Every structure is written in C-alpha cells, then in structure tokens.
Amino acid sequence: MNLLEISKLTLRIGAFEALKGIDLSVRTGEIRALVGESGSGKSMTALSIMKLLPGGARTEGQIRFDGKDLLAASEAEMCRLRGNEIGMVFQEPMTALNPVKTIGEQVAEGIRLHTGATRAVAEEQTRAILDRVGLPAEKFPLSRYPHELSGGQRQRVVIAIACALKPRLLIADEPTTALDVVLQKQILELLQSLVDEERMGLLLISHDLAVVADMAHSITVLRHGEVMDNGETTEILTEQTHPYTRQLAQASMHVPERTPHHLTQTTPDGPLLAIRNLSRTYPGSRKGLFGRDPDFRAVDDVTFDIKPGQSTALVGRSGCGKSTLARMVLALDRPTQGQIHFAGRRIDKLTQNDLRPVRRNMQVVFQDPYSSFNPRHQAERLISEPLYLLDRELSDTERRDRVHRALERVGIPRADKHKYPHEFSGGQRQRLAIARAIITEPKLIVADEPVSALDVSIRAQILDLFADLNDRLGIAYLFITHDLAVARAITDTVMVMSEGKIVERGETEEILRQPRSEAGRALVKASPDLHKALARRIGEQG
C-alpha cells in the first residue's frame, strides 16, 4: 500500500477548477517530485493533503494517507496528523516563522502539542533536531529570534519544525526557490538525508525539473490542474515522451542564440562603465553607550570595466554585496570610496539633477515585475515614465511612437498599452519592465535577478529577449544573478563576487567550465544542471 494515494482529486475555488482529477502517490521512503509552472496546482495539491485550503475551496475524489481517507477526516483528526505524521516545509523562509517567538519555542511547540512532553523534555528534543538540521547550540541557542537568522538558516528551522516528530510524509513546497544555489543544494541534501534516515516519504514540489532531477525517484508533471506526465525520473527525463515534459526540460536548459560580443574588439572611446576601487561600508550597529560592532564592508575595493555592448554577469551568493554594487552603479547609493565613470564621465559625485543624462543612458530591470509597477497606472504611462529624462519634452505623437516602438521590441501588442499591470502575466510584466528600460534607448541596462521570479519556459523567452536586444540595439548589460544558467545564457564575461570582493573574472564559458576561486567552484558545483543529473543517474543505473 502506498503511504499517500491521491485519486481523481478535484478542487474548485469558487468557479475556478484548480485541480481536475489528479492522481498521485508517494511510497514510504520515496521522493516524489511534483513539477509544474505557476498556477498548475502544485501548492493546492499540497494544501489539499494538509486540508489547509483557503475558505470556499471544495474538494472531490480521494486522498488516502496510510489507508485513511483524509477528505473524510474531521478537523480534530487532521490536527493530530499535521506536524506529527505529515510535516510541511514552505517556500518563503523569511515569512514562515513567527517573528515574536524564539526558534526554540516554535520548534518545541509542535513537540509538546503532539507528545505532551514537559517543557524540559521538549527543549531537549528541540535542541537535538536543531543540531541535526545544522544549527548547532553554540551559534544558535534556542533563544534566538527568526530575524537574527539568514534565509537559509530560517529554512532549516522550518525543516526542524516539520521533521521534529519524524513524520512519515514530508511535503516540501518549493523549499529552495527563495534561496541562492549554494543554499539550495545544502537544503536539498538535508532533506535527502532526513528522508533516508527516517524512511519518510517526500513530496517535493518545484517549478524546475533541473532542481529535482538529482534526487527525486519519480516525477509527476502538472499543468493547469491536470497530470501531464508521471513516472520514474530517469525514464521520464531520458525519453521525454510527453511534449510538455520536453518543453519544460528544454526551457530549463535553454541557451539563447546570440552573437557573442567580440571581446578583442577595440573601442576607441574606452569603456562604457569603469569602476575603480569602489567600496561601500556600513557602520556597525551600536552596542550600549560607547561600543560599536565593527564596520561592515558590503563592497570592498571593486574594480572593473564594461565595454559598449558587452554583456557581463555579476554572480555570487545572496549577501555577497552584488546588489549594493548595482545600487551604486545606478547612483541610488553613494560609495564610501572609489570612483564610477560612465561614458567617460565621473558620476559618483553628481547631484540628482546632473544625473539625469546619465540615468537616460543607464536603466534598470528588477527581479519582481509586479511590485516594481504602480498598479493604478496603464502600461503606456508605466513604460513612458523614464521619458522625462530626455533633454526636451516630447510631443504626444513622438511619445506614442516611442511607446509603440518599445512595446514592439519586447513583443507586446500595441493594443495592450491601455491595460493595467494585473492584466498581464508574469512574463509579460517583465517584458513591460524591459520596455520601460529601453524606451530612452540606453547604453547600459543593470538587471538585478531579472528572471529568477519567472517560470522556466517564461524565463527562456525573457532570456531570448535580452539576448536579442543586446544583438540588435547593442545595449550593454550588467546582469546580477546567483543562477549560473542565466549567466551562461546571455553574458560574455562573468565576475564572481564573494564577501564584497570580486574574486574571479573572465569569459563566461571558461569560468563556468573551470572556476578557479572557491566561491566560483561552490556556485558551479551547486548549480542545478539537468544534463549532469541525468548523466549521473544513467551512469548509476549502468
């Protein structure tokens, strides 16, 4: 008998049919991946099992856990199962923990609830599980609060909560999507080892085949609430019989076609962007009346050039200082030391007014296309916003022409200019953000994780768009990312950043093939790669 057996599960929320009769099973000790793009119903499946669906949701079909029909179970029975027999890990570690309770209280709470253990016993068990997930007592006493921990450490706490009572089924809903690749690998390895130790069943939800290819025994592919493909991992990925699985796999490995920038090409005008010995220090937080923590150097003596039309990736783990560096390049933050030259002019000391011509030539694309737009403005107004940076005011016809041209370049129909942000899909919104960035015909675009919030197939399309704009318009990029696949796809050169310093630089292909720095090696090793994962699997199976 399977540990978890879902058959013909249908879920309606209002008039919307989120799940259309899906079948899914997890055996004891099995890692089952549930893969699909946003809106495919992955999280709804997980919440259906936990019976934590939003109000107004109606389910039909059957969910059997260890033979017991969960859909028919009472709320009291579910409360006994949740956290005890079935544990769950969520996507967003930054918000998954209660900010006003210590990590010890939060882990011990579930233990005391289900076992009725005394405070002392529960604390002992809490200590043990926190040690187990990699949060040792000397650095992480039970009295720590969530805000004192990083994202990866918080996710370990969430995993400790879910695994404290050694549940028989663990559900992990995109547990690593919000983390950088090195943390992702660590967290996945932790899950794998916990599952192996306790013979748990694991339902691992992800939007990226490459992430699960390494560890899942079997894969179920979901799309629009329907199961597209289902089977053993190696088989599914080598044969790729289902067109949608093939599409997902290809999107995950997608490399846009582009003419690489000729690095040897000499440019008479010198570099477009020249960074010299740039540093940014933040004063340490105050300790008592006189003491202070030592200053924190977020960016430490960084020097580099970007030539016109060159696409450069700045890769590094979260917290390495890459976004601080980007903010200084964009003149949103001032350096403590060093110089920034753009198009031959020193810009780090300019006033806001003098920065206008600079900003016209240097635009930005952010990670989250939704939160970077005013929801009450139409697309036309949103993308024409940077036009105020031009020297003279445009006539209405000129303005409209520019909007049309920008929309056309990013592949959005003109007629959509009257729509509001919420009427666009995630991928289209990122296209709008790019349209907004290119409307002033800039020479440089700084893109801060521009595709990491997007589904794989949309990510592939947006990467194509970036590559195409680089080819056609000769726009130079500074691409900030922790994802090497992105760097490989569209950049000529890579700089690896670690603890505020650039520790390695060179041509993208070369560095990704043979990183020399420790930080570079860690990133390359942790980066999910469908090819490598498959090769390893096939090798193992002979």
Of 178 and 456, nearer to other proteins (C-beta) is 178
Of 91 and 311, nearer to other proteins (C-beta) is 91
Give me the phi and psi of 52, to 5 degrees please: -120, 35
- Using the 8-state DSSP alphabet, how is residue 96 labeled? S
Q: Which stretch binds other proteins (CB under 8 A): 82-90, 402-410, 454-462, 480-488?
A: 82-90
CB of 161 to other proteins, least distance (A): 6
CB 426 within 8 A of CB 343: no
Number of residues that bind other proteins (CB under 8 A): 36
Asked whether position 104 contacts other proteins by CB under 8 A, the answer is no
CB atoms within 10 A of CB 320: 24
CB 203 within 8 A of CB 34: yes
Asked whether position 366 contacts other proteins by CB under 8 A, the answer is no
CB of 94 to other proteins, least distance (A): 9
User: How many Å apart are CA 269 and CA 1, to the nearest integer?
Assistant: 72
**Tokens 């002033």, residue located:** 440
Q: To 5 degrees, how large is the angle CA 518–CA 522–CA 527?
A: 150
With CB under 8 A as the contact rule, the residue among 41, 59, 90, 279 that binds other proteins is: 90
Pairing of strands 476-481, 444-448: parallel
CB 246 within 8 A of CB 238: no
Q: Which stretch binds other proteins (CB under 8 A): 26-34, 282-290, 301-309, 507-515?
A: 282-290
Give me the phi and psi of 447, to 5 degrees please: -120, 115
With CB under 8 A as the contact rule, the residue among 34, 35, 50, 122 that binds other proteins is: 50
CB atoms within 10 A of CB 166: 15
Asked whether position 113 contacts other proteins by CB under 8 A, the answer is yes
Q: Which stretch binds other proteins (CB under 8 A): 61-69, 100-108, 357-365, 472-480?
A: 100-108
Restricted to residues 285-304, the positions that interact with other proteins (CB under 8 A) are 285-286, 288-289
Question: Which helix (H) or strand (E) covers residue 504, if one does?
Answer: strand 501-507
Restricted to residues 58-77, the positions that interact with other proteins (CB under 8 A) are 75-76
With CB under 8 A as the contact rule, the residue among 6, 88, 273, 524 that binds other proteins is: 88
Counting Cβ atoms within 10 Å, is residue 262 exposed (0-12), middle (13-18) or buried (19+)? exposed
User: HSE on the CB side for 143, CA within 13 Å?
Assistant: 1
Q: Which stretch binds other proteins (CB under 8 A): 31-39, 48-56, 319-327, 433-441?
A: 48-56
**Tokens 């445009």, residue located:** 394
Of 96 and 462, nearer to other proteins (C-beta) is 96
Sheet with 169-173: strands ordered across: 86-89, 169-173, 201-206, 31-35, 218-223, 226-232
CB of 246 to other proteins, least distance (A): 34
With CB under 8 A as the contact rule, the residue among 96, 314, 410, 475 that binds other proteins is: 96
Q: Which stretch binds other proteins (CB under 8 A): 14-22, 61-69, 81-89, 532-540?
A: 81-89
CB of 122 to other proteins, least distance (A): 13
By the criterion CB under 8 A, which residues form the site for other proteins?
50, 52, 55, 75-76, 79-84, 87-88, 90, 92, 95-101, 106, 109-110, 113-114, 145, 147, 158, 161-162, 285-286, 288-289
